[in-house]
A and B are shown apart, each in its own frame.
Chain A
Amino acid sequence: MSTTAQTAPGTAAPSYYDLDEHEHPPGASTMLGFWLYLMSDCLIFAMLFAAYGVYGGSFAGGPGPKELFELPLVAVNTTMLLLSSITYGFAMLNADEKNKAATLRWLGVTGVFGAAFLAIELYEFSNLIHEGAGPWRSAFLSSFFTLVGTHGLHVTFGIIWLVTLMVQVARRGLEPANLRRLQCLSLFWHFLDVVWIGVFTFVYLLGVLR
């Protein structure tokens, strides 16, 4: 701390100045910064949820959620994402214990669950499009594809990031910079799971109910 007290002539109260910047270790503000990014990402999803909320009932004479959504498939998808969340947690615990091999193994398992999630979602999308229920069919389907597709795109980039980090960890080990990156991805990955709770509840479950 380098706070300097200077008493100006003629005044009794000393004024304090911070002359030097504090010492910041590299990456000290990364986690807060990444959290703020996630919060702004949260706002993107809020807009898309709001759009879906407004257009979710505008079928334009086309098929509605009851005819289109297959809940068993969504349940499997939800399971995949939830399993990938806990396996990522195991990867982080092993990274904290400096166990490189186990970290890589759990990251790999997480990636497989993430890829399974994406595969099921793409299968669902292609089924919908083959049934003639593509995003062009109605406002309901446009907002559905935008919301769920944006989430899927996030998962895609999460997987790319995950593979990149696996290469980094394999080549350079669990050094501080890599640990920090793993923590950022951890937040990102769990955040996507939180968004998915909103998707399966408000889009799929409530869609089938309405």
Chain B
Amino acid sequence: MSAETHGHGPNHGQGHDHAHHDAHDHHGGAAHGSRREYWIGFILSVLLTAPAFALVMTGIIPDPRVTAGIVIALALVQIVVHMIYFLHMNTKSENGWTMLALIFTAIIVLIVIAGSLWVMYHMNLNMMPGMQMEQSSGGM
């Protein structure tokens, strides 16, 4: 089995054919980007970052919850943009193992963050100062 058939990304051979063979035999199958891809990623990032800062700095939307929702949505889209255009994620590189590792990590990250917030929020709620006072006064 040669390295060439070993799960290369679909972006190969775009614009750098002459460097193709010596460069690609040795890095087991990570995908490359093209100049166009980097520019698309950069412009999309600017278009996603600038509105987020503008919304918060000007406070143009009176309800902060709506602003927060939009800002979080912009960030999530930007993370996907970076993954595709800068980190060149796809389902083909390394025979899909990078994508599998990413999905697994994303699930763990979600469990850790959402779980921590959930558990600690309820713990705080159940250990309100008022409640402790009630208990201590009741005990005395």
Q: A96-B23, A209-B56 are in contact. Are A27 and B28 (CB under 8 A)?
A: yes
Q: Verify if B127 is at the interface (C-beta below 8 Å from A).
A: no
Q: Verify if B68 is at the interface (C-beta below 8 Å from A).
A: yes
B94 interface neighbour in A31, A46, A200, Cβ under 8 Å? A31
B84-104 near A? 1/0 per residue, CB < 8 Å: 001100000010011001101
Query: Chain A, interface size: which category?
Result: 35 or more
B interface size (C-beta, 8 A): 57
Q: Verify if A172 is at the interface (C-beta below 8 Å from B).
A: no
Evaluate contact between B116 and A28: CB separation under 8 angstroms: no
Q: A32-B98, A50-B113 are in contact. Are A93 and B26 (CB under 8 A)?
A: no
Name the B residues within 8 Å of A93 (CB-CB). Answer: 16, 33-35, 38
Q: How far is the CA of A209 from the CA of B70 in the complex (A)?
A: 12
Name the B residues within 8 Å of A198 (CB-CB). Answer: 75, 79
**Interface hits, A58-112 → B, CB 8 Å:** 71-72, 74-75, 78, 82, 85-86, 89-90, 92-93, 96-98
Q: How far is the CA of A55 from the CA of B35 in the complex (A)?
A: 42
A29 smallest CB distance to B (angstroms): 6
**Interface hits, B110-132 → A, CB 8 Å:** 112-113, 115-117, 120
CB-CB nearest in chain B for A195: B79
Evaluate contact between B72 and A194: CB separation under 8 angstroms: no
Q: Verify if A130 is at the interface (C-beta below 8 Å from B).
A: no
A105 smallest CB distance to B (angstroms): 16
Q: Verify if A197 is at the interface (C-beta below 8 Å from B).
A: yes
Name the A residues within 8 Å of B3 (CB-CB). Answer: 25, 28
Q: Verify if B1 is at the interface (C-beta below 8 Å from A).
A: yes
Evaluate contact between B113 and A29: CB separation under 8 angstroms: no
B62 smallest CB distance to A (angstroms): 12
A168-210 near B? 1/0 per residue, CB < 8 Å: 0000000011011001000100110110011011100110111
What are 18 A-B pairs with beta-carbon distances under 8 A?
Answer: A27-B27, A31-B28, A35-B94, A43-B108, A43-B112, A46-B108, A46-B113, A50-B113, A85-B42, A85-B45, A92-B33, A96-B23, A179-B23, A194-B82, A194-B83, A197-B78, A197-B82, A201-B52
